Chains A and B, each alone.
Chain A
Amino acid sequence: MTQNPPFGIDPRGPRFGAAITSVLLLVVVLLGLTESLEATLVGRWLQPSALLMTALVALFAWGAFAGIQRHPYGMLYRALLATRLGPPDEREDPAPPTFAQLIGLLVTGLGLIAHLAALPWALVVAASAAFIAAFLNAAVAYCLGCQLYVLFVRAGIIRRRSARA
């Protein structure tokens, strides 16, 4: 009936990560709104909001390229929470949340680049958009990036095996 334990990941892992990410993104928004845009490229990068955003971009890149199972938050989740919560009702394929990390990387990365290019509001807008997505994932288990993944698979943009493989 359901898949064997080795298949798939505990879906609560990515949600736990999304909760941390959404808090950090809110901090970026708060810092970004109160800070002023620095005049030089290095100055803009060294702004606290941009430094935190850089860390978030790096974390999204980690999840997108190493896979969501190897994400530091996932490791943290397994070490701290997984054993206390017990096994999940169902496991899920790691591909959609990994793709969602790529979408997160795209949004935060573009925001950071635009900010470095001295575009005002870029950091705040990108962090706000990413926050909404991360918040929905953490709060109601709605993973926007995963929905996109499924749409892309159905449109034939991404190749994928079938449901009951």
Chain B
Amino acid sequence: MDARRAPLAATEPHLSSQCVTLARGPHALRTVVGMDFSVALLVVGGLLVLGTVLGAVVRSRSARVASGCGGDEHELAVSGAEVTLVQLSSPVCSACVAMRRVAESLVAEQPGLAHREIDVIDQPDVAHRHSVFSTPTTLVLDAEGHVRARLIGAVRPEQARAAIEAARTELVHS
């Protein structure tokens, strides 16, 4: 190596022409990516698997019921209602519309259930108090205004029903 480099460095023009060949030569950069087709297919397959796994994670987290988060919202509980659903919505989310529809149908079928919607842009304080970052998130308040559960995303009616039912029962400890 040293023996070859020394004369090149000594003669300037030779060196620069060597550099030009390195940079502009048709095969100079050819080995940078250029992998085998089957390997490339494996990578593409890997991307599909990754997308599917992420999709499954997103899906499982998109609509769920969380309980035991605690907190109180006495002011937001509709007086006279046994259970109040406080839905936190943001300006543009189609899941919020879906959740609103679920909540309104439940209100129509269940006595003592109330639903109200709060815009997280207009009234960010409620979302801040409960560290809500995704909409729709619906707080399930019992008659005393305790947050008994939160419905995250547009949950299925039966998920909401179970959480409402639990909120109707007397709070044993706390």
Which positions in A face B, CB cutoff 8 Å? 1-2, 11, 22, 26, 29-30, 32-40, 89-93, 95-96, 118, 120-121, 124, 128, 131-132, 135-136, 139-140, 142, 146, 149-150, 153-154, 160-165
Contacts and interface: CB of A to CB of B under 8 A. Distances in A.
Given A135-B51, A142-B59, 5 more contacts: A29-B43, A34-B33, A150-B135, A153-B121, A160-B92
A142 B59 CA distance: 8
B24 A39 contact: yes
Contacts of A162: 91, 119, 121-122
Interface in B141-174: none
Interface in B96-153: 96-98, 100-101, 104, 117, 119-122, 124, 135
Interface in B1-40: 23-26, 28-37, 39-40
B89 interface: yes
A93 B121 CA distance: 16
24 contacts: A2-B101, A33-B40, A34-B36, A36-B31, A36-B32, A37-B33, A39-B26, A91-B94, A92-B92, A95-B92, A128-B47, A131-B47, A136-B54, A139-B51, A139-B52, A142-B55, A150-B91, A153-B91, A160-B91, A160-B121, A162-B121, A162-B122, A163-B121, A164-B117
Interface residues of B, number: 48
Contact of B41 (A30, A91, A96, A153): A30
Nearest to A158: B91
A163 B94 contact: no
